[in-house]
Amino acid sequence: MLELHDVSKIVSGRTHIGNVSLRLEPGSLNVLLGPTLAGKTTLMRLMAGLDQPTSGAVAMNGKDQAGVPVQKRSVAMVYQQFINYPSMTVYENIASPLRVAGADRATVDRKVRAAAELLRLTPYLDRLPLELSGGQQQRTALARAVVKEARLVLLDEPLANLDYKLREEMRAELPRVFAESGAIFVYATTEPAEALLLGGNTATLSEGRVTQFGPTIEVFRNPVELVTAKTFSDPPLNTIELVKRGSRFVLEGTPGIPVPARLAGIPDAPYTIGFRAHHLSLEDKGAGVPIEARVVVTEVTGSESFVHVDYAGRRWVMLEEGIHRFELGEMLRLFIDTRHLLVFDAAGTSVFAVRMAA
């Protein structure tokens, strides 16, 4: 198990990582989700031992790693840029960590072939990396990480340079690779959809802080903080600041929306209401509250339409199945699915989390 105890990294007075505590179990997949500069790479470097924390501790299986050089740690890293030895065959690329470790020929062969099989590289073992597609090159880099049998495997946006479709295939394959290896996997990405497809656990990062950590789908459905909900929404989270007065959330100049029954007990105060694009729709799917919004732009992908609308000066996105084209400026009657409302208090904390803690 990898444990981070209150880890901070401060560089020339600026906090790059602030008070991060995490426990990562063997055989688990852990996604670090956050925008560029949120601290994902910095956190991985601290986990790997490439950098030392300013304060706090990193422990592997209960043993403090401070002072243990990176070569002595059981760590493998895969980067966005696939790194392979261009003059060596795929076989030799995968074998290289085993050769460095002085493994005998039979062991090298057995492990290389097993890793190649796992990553579907068996037909390409005799090729040079540059003769392969980007996906195959990145799989070679992954196979080298797997063959090391490291306890900790860190993947820093490993699919970012691959084609959309290859990414989709790799995302489907990776959880199987992870499950079979038994290592602790840490996977950094900027894309919420990627975290959801990978599953496992997710830690959301914002400005060097882990805002939430738990099973991926839990973090997605029940964000404790507004910042987590925003980090974990693509299309962006639709939000609006409303004031609760009795049984309604109100806003000057709008009809407001009724307070759902499950929230009846929260105090009258200002709140930020958030909901995702697929919870805004043309039809009432249940517990829908109607609103009038003006069309700004429509994007059609063929299977879905993203309709950008303006509501009381807020820019929202509606995700609707099928093809829907609207004219710029057209007024639409839309429904907010209140079963899935996210409600945050003035401090940006979910009222559901507050109520659960109480």
Binding site residues, another protein, CB under 8 A: 35-36, 133-134, 163-166, 168, 190-193, 196-197, 199, 217, 220-221, 234-236, 276, 278, 285, 296-297, 299-303, 306, 308, 317, 319, 321, 323, 328
CB-wise, 192 or 256, nearer to another protein?
A: 192
C-beta separation of 26 from 14 below 8 A: no
**CA 124/CA 142 separation, integer angstroms:** 14
Closest CB to another protein among residues 83, 319: 319
CB of 36 to another protein, least distance (A): 5
For residue 90, the tally of other CB atoms under 10 A from its CB is 27
Cα 230 from chain centroid? Answer: 12
Cβ atoms of 153 and 184 within 8 Å: the answer is: yes
CB of 171 to another protein, least distance (A): 10
Q: How far is the CB of 169 from another protein (least distance, A)?
A: 10
Q: What minimum distance in Å lies between the beta carbon of 230 and another protein?
A: 8
Separation of CA 270 from chain center: 30
Asked if 145 contacts 181 with a C-beta cutoff of 8 angstroms, the reply is no
Q: Return the closest-CA partner of residue 54 out of 14, 23, 24, 1.
A: 14
* DSSP conformational letter for 225: B
| CB of 104 or CB of 283, closer to another protein | 283
CB of 51 to another protein, least distance (A): 23
**If we measure between CA atoms, which residue out of 258, 259, 256, 81 comes closest to residue 160?**
81
